[in-house]
Amino acid sequence: MLDAQQIAFAKNPEVFILGEDVGDPQGGVFGTNKGLQTEYGETRVRPTPIAEQAIIGAALGSSIAGMSPIAEIMFTDFFGVCMDQIYNHAAKQRYMSGAATHAPMTIRVQAGGGMGGFGAQHSQSMEAWLLHSPGIKVVYPSNPVDAKGLLASCIEDPDPCVQIEAMILLYTMKGEVPVGDYKIPLGVAKVLREGTDITLISYGWMVNQVLAAAEELAKEGISAEVIDLRTLMPIDYHRVLDSVKKTGRAMVVHAAVEFCGYGAEIASTINEELWDKLKAPATRLGAAYAPIAYSSAIEFTQVPGQAHVVTRVKDIMKA
């Protein structure tokens, strides 16, 4: 992500970062901007007051004037204090103005969860809020390569984009990324593992739990196809439906609360579109309907993990 930002900074002098603690020496609370302020100065990397409405508003206004800001919100849990600027203003500006103005801005936000110990206000997955607000594009990478490629596309997109970055991946996953101006187009999902019995659809850090589950299932003779959505909006229904046509079964897995979650929406569409081709109803697996517990022992039971996925898939196969 640092790489994507560095390239964007070099390409376009009107790209700038603003957010809490984004400057050097720390380069953001997760260090994802390290060195950028030193190289480009305080007007390109702007540490802000702890004021999320001011951050998103400043990004939005400058983008309406034609700049390409990257606003950083520390945790998705903090959307609550700036949602008005996101869903009422950034998301709607192009539509409400009849395209007289638009907002080419990017929001980078970290999502907690899956690690334990961060509590109910730093561990949530709030992507459904964004997805329920027409006008915002949302990406949620599951690995460093996608994080770079999707972020680069977001920065150059003419409309507001949110990249959700999983804290657990920032801490645990390292990998080589392509050098240079590498972009992954928005709205293109990726089949990470081919299979014939069931399609498992996921995104973000949960993808890695699902891949591990697929490995486990293979040992028991169940062949699972795994799709990483990468972009949640616009969603790549083409790849999803094609896969389910082949397997006849589908389950969406996410870390967000299952009730009224994105999985329900996708499963519903699959059921409507492929009703006569399904061997079992498409379904979804998400977190229990409860705030995330501070205790990791509780959190790991309330948010899906590898074992939950395996159990549910076996149930579906029996049906």
Partner 1 sequence: MAQSNLAIEPETLKAIYGQMSRIRAVDKAIQAGLSAGKFMFTYWPLTGQECIPATISQLITKDDYMVTTYRGIHDQVAKGVDLYGMFAEALGREDGVNKGKGGSPHISDPSSGSMVTTAIVGAGAPIANGLAISAKERGEDRVTIVNFGDGATSIGAVHEAMNLAGAWKLPVIFMCQNNEWGEYTPIPKYTASPNFYGRAEALGFRGVQLDGNDPVAFYNGMKDVIEHVRAGKGPVFVEAKTFRLGPHAGVGDNMNVDKDYLKTKKEQAPVDKTRALLVEAGICRGSRCHRRSGEEGSRRGDCQGDGIDRDPGERNAHRRLRRSLRRPGARQLSVPRGRGRTACRNEDDVHRRSGARRPADRLRQKSGSLHSG
Residues annotated as catalytic (active site), given as ranges: 122
Which residue, 101 or 296, has its beta carbon nearer to partner 1? Answer: 101
In whole angstroms, give the CA distance from residue 276 to residue 289.
31
46 versus 284: smaller Cβ distance to partner 1:
46
Q: Which residues contact 269 (CB under 8 A, 6 or more apart)?
A: 237
Residue from 59, 109, 136, 201 touching partner 1 (CB under 8 A): that is 59
Q: Is 64 in the site for partner 1 (CB under 8 A)?
A: yes
Under rule CB under 8 A, how many of the chain's residues touch partner 1? Answer: 35
Region from 84-92, 170-178, 186-194, 216-224 binding partner 1, contact rule CB under 8 A: 84-92
Asked if 37 is part of the footprint of partner 1 (rule: CB under 8 A), the reply reads: no
Please identify, among the stretches 91-99, 209-217, 277-285, 298-306, the one whose residues bind partner 1 according to the rule CB under 8 A: 91-99
In whole angstroms, give the CA distance from residue 281 to residue 227. 18
Cα–Cα distance measured from residue 53 to residue 57, given in angstroms and rounded to the nearest whole number: 6
> What is the identity of the amino acid at 154?
C
Q: Which two tokens stand for residue 11?
A: 């390409």
Binding-site member from 10, 65, 120, 260 for partner 1 (CB under 8 A): 65
Q: Say if residues 186 and 150 touch (Cβ distance below 8 Å).
A: yes
* Nearest one of 111, 73, 78, 89 to 160, comparing CA atoms: 89
Q: Which of these ranges, 99-107, 118-126, 135-143, 293-301, lies near partner 1 under the rule CB under 8 A? A: 99-107
Say how far apart CA 79 and CA 97 lie, in whole Å: 24
| Minimum CB–partner distance for residue 16 and partner 1 (Å) | 8
> What CA–CA distance (Å, rounded) separates 288 from 171?
25
Contact, 124 vs 292, CB < 8 A?
Answer: yes
Q: Would you state the structure tokens that stand for residue 123, as one six-digit string?
A: 């561990």
Binding residue (CB under 8 A) for partner 1 from 67, 241, 274, 317: 67
Residue 88 or 311: which CB sits closer to partner 1? 88
Return the ∠ at Cα 266 (arms to 263 and 267), rounded to 5°: 80
Query: Do 2 and 37 meet the contact criterion of CB atoms below 8 Å apart?
Result: no
Q: Does 83 engage in binding with partner 1 (CB under 8 A)?
A: no
For residue 220, the minimal CB distance to partner 1 (Å) is 54
Within 177-196, which residues bind partner 1 (CB under 8 A)?
A: none
Residues in touch with partner 1 (CB under 8 A): 14, 16, 43, 46, 48-49, 51, 53-54, 56-67, 69, 84-85, 88-89, 92-93, 95-101
